């Protein structure tokens, strides 16, 4: 499989409009408050009847300091005791949800995100994992994909040893940028020594995959400054890179109002940074997985993409398409059976529902047949840049050209622009179309028209 990308400034400028990241279809904007505890329990019952492994996501919302660019659901505090009542409720939710899922279902994937999961003490992390093991069937053979996001400013060699002992075998390190001026502008001061010592410790402890998070488009960034950051990281060769476009939406995210708008790089500079990133990573031997992600050719994501079983869920790209995803903690989103489910976002509401013995569901959506069909199409395109009509026709008992006649017509200009190839057999995304895969997927999104203003730009 060709996993290369082609950077065409003219095409990118023409297609750079707002669009979803497709960590799900329908997107999270379609979740509604008419879906609650009762509906979720019904879908868990259907999921148990179907069987199969599970994936667990835990949201740890606490941070010691605020990063001005952040759009995550977080609670900023230096008082570590603030986590204790939240964890007490989280343990209760684990018990409630664990009782509803068949105990024979193995947890093949587990992820702690945030916030900053390493805000917790070792004792708190150990108790959280112990409670999880008590109510779900965690693997004990180290063959699962158990990952955690860490802040190198709050992590050291001892932390990595403890995390490995708890069963984690994949780690993602938040960085964003090494440039001191950029770090000051976004209120995230983080040294090279802090970052690389944690990466070295993860390798020494036997973590099987290491990822570095970067953001382009932050204030005061230039092509030259970001290239210096990238070169320093390439020298230590992490297994994966996640390089995100900063979406400046201060009207939605209050902390972003502390960023000085005039210091943000122009769209032209952002494009130049992205072009430099693609070139440097490709020259260093990394392949483009899609949607901001690069990996070494022998990484599990790259192998899964070549072999045709890469998947995408609320945590990003995954090799576990067969897992139902159970979300735990405030604001977490799960996918169980034919439904997406999101927990409440506020601590007091979470506390109230948990202590009433109710699942803390805020909203959800049940997928209809058209949703499941379009999800399959979008998933194939965004994960593999290739779609076989015959596979979709067999799975959903449709005639693709008839069902998607309008969509196929809408792809014709994209073919003329060199983004993709249309044939009687399917769709193949070309190198120039891979950076714009969201645009191609958007053609198949029936909900998009009325929602478009609520998304960030694709590039």
Least confident of 6-15, 24-33, 115-124: 6-15
* Mean of pLDDT values over 290-305: 91
Supply the pLDDT for residue 2.
67
Name the strand (E) or helix (H) holding 209. Answer: strand 209-216
Kindly list the structural domains of the chain, giving each domain's residue range(s) and its CATH number in brackets, ordered by start.
1-24+368-459 (1.10.10.920), 25-325 (3.20.20)
Q: Is the pLDDT of residue 424 over 80?
A: yes
| 313-341 pLDDT, tens digit each | 887 888 877 799 999 999 999 999 899 99
Q: Is the pLDDT of residue 452 over 80?
A: no
How far, in Å, CA of 249 to CA of 40, rounded? 32
Supply the pLDDT for residue 450.
63
How far, in Å, CA of 16 to CA of 458, rounded? 6
Query: To the nearest whole percent, how much of the chain has pLDDT over 70?
Result: 97
Supply the pLDDT for residue 453.
54
Tokens standing for residue 83: 């986590």
* Mean of pLDDT values over 231-252: 94
Q: Is the pLDDT of residue 13 over 90?
A: no
Alpha helices in 56-116 (DSSP H): 83-100
Is the distance from CB of 334 to CB of 312 less than 8 angstroms? no
Supply the pLDDT for residue 3.
66
pLDDT, mean over the chain: 93
Is the distance from CB of 171 to CB of 345 less than 8 angstroms? no
* Mean of pLDDT values over 149-155: 94
Burial of residue 33 (CB within 10 Å: 0-12, 13-18, 19+) is exposed
For the question of whether the overall pTM of this predicted structure is more than 0.85, the answer is: yes
How far, in Å, CA of 296 to CA of 66, rounded? 32
Query: To the nearest whole percent, how much of the chain has pLDDT over 90?
Result: 82
Supply the pLDDT for residue 294.
95
What does the H/E/C string look like for 304-372?
HHHHCCCEEECCEEECCCCCEEEEECCCCEEEECCEEEEECCCHHHHHHHHHCCCCCEEEEEECCHHHH
| 176-225 pLDDT, tens digit each | 999 999 999 999 999 999 999 999 999 999 999 999 999 999 999 999 99
Supply the pLDDT for residue 19.
83
Q: Is the pLDDT of residue 1 over 70?
A: no
Supply the pLDDT for residue 321.
76
Instruction: List C-alpha distances in Å: 307 to 137, 300, 301, 310, 378.
Output: 28, 10, 10, 8, 18
Q: Is the pLDDT of residue 451 over 80?
A: no
Strands 287-290 and 209-216: unpaired
Q: Is the pLDDT of residue 148 over 70?
A: yes
Q: How confident is the model at residue 455 (pLDDT cuts 50, 70, 90)?
A: low
Supply the pLDDT for residue 291.
81
| 365-392 pLDDT, tens digit each | 999 999 999 999 999 999 999 999 999 9
Residue 279 zone, left/alpha/beta (φ > 0; ψ -120 to 50; rest): alpha
Q: How confident is the model at residue 438 (pLDDT cuts 50, 70, 90)?
A: very high
Tokens standing for residue 323: 């897992």
Is the distance from CB of 390 to CB of 348 less than 8 angstroms? no
Supply the pLDDT for residue 238.
97
Q: What is the 8-class DSSP label of residue 402?
A: H
* Mean of pLDDT values over 56-82: 91
* Mean of pLDDT values over 294-311: 91
| 98-113 pLDDT, tens digit each | 999 999 999 999 999 9
- Angle, alpha carbons 51-328-199 (nearest 5°): 100
């Amino acid at each position: 499989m060709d996993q290369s990308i082609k950077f065409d400034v003219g095409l990118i400028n023409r297609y750079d409009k707002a669009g979803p990241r497709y960590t799900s279809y329908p997107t999270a904007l379609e979740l509604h408050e008419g879906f609650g505890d009762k509906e979720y329990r019904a879908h868990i019952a259907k999921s148990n009847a179907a069987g199969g492994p599970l994936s667990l996501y835990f949201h740890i919302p606490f941070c010691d300091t605020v990063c001005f660019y952040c759009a995550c659901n977080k609670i900023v505090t230096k008082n570590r005791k603030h986590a204790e009542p939240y964890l007490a409720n989280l343990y209760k939710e684990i018990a409630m949800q664990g009782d509803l899922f068949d105990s024979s279902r193995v947890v093949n994937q587990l992820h702690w995100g945030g916030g900053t999961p390493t805000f917790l003490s070792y004792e708190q992390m150990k108790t959280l994992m112990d409670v999880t093991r008590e109510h779900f069937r965690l693997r004990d053979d180290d063959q699962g994909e158990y990952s955690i996001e860490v802040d190198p400013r709050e992590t050291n060699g001892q932390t990595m040893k403890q995390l490995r002992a708890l069963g984690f075998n994949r780690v993602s390190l938040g960085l964003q940028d090494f440039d001191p001026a950029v770090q000051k502008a976004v209120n995230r001061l983080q040294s090279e020594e802090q970052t690389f010592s944690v990466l070295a410790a993860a390798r020494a402890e036997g973590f099987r995959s290491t990822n570095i998070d970067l953001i382009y488009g932050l204030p005061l960034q230039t092509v030259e400054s970001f290239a210096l950051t990238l070169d320093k990281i390439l020298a230590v060769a992490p297994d994966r890179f996640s390089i995100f476009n900063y979406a400046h939406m201060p009207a939605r995210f209050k902390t972003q109002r502390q960023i000085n708008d005039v210091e943000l790089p122009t769209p032209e500079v952002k494009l130049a940074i992205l072009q430099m990133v693609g070139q440097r990573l490709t020259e260093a031997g990394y392949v483009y997985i899609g949607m901001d992600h690069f990996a070494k050719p022998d990484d599990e994501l790259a192998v899964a993409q070549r072999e045709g079983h890469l998947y995408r869920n609320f945590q990003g790209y995954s090799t576990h398409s067969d897992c139902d995803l159970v979300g735990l903690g405030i604001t977490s989103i799960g996918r169980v059976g034919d439904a997406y489910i999101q927990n409440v976002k506020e601590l007091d509401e979470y506390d109230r529902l948990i202590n009433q013995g109710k699942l803390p569901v805020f909203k959800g959506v049940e997928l209809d047949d058209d949703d499941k069909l379009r999800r399959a199409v979008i998933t194939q395109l965004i994960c593999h840049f290739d779609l076989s009509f015959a596979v979709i026709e067999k799975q959903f008992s449709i005639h693709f050209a008839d069902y998607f006649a309008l969509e196929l017509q809408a792809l014709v200009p994209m073919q003329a622009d060199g983004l993709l190839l249309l044939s009687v057999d399917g769709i193949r995304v070309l190198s120039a179309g891979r950076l714009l895969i969201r645009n191609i997927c958007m053609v198949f999104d029936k909900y998009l028209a009325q929602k478009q203003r609520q998304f960030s730009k694709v590039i």
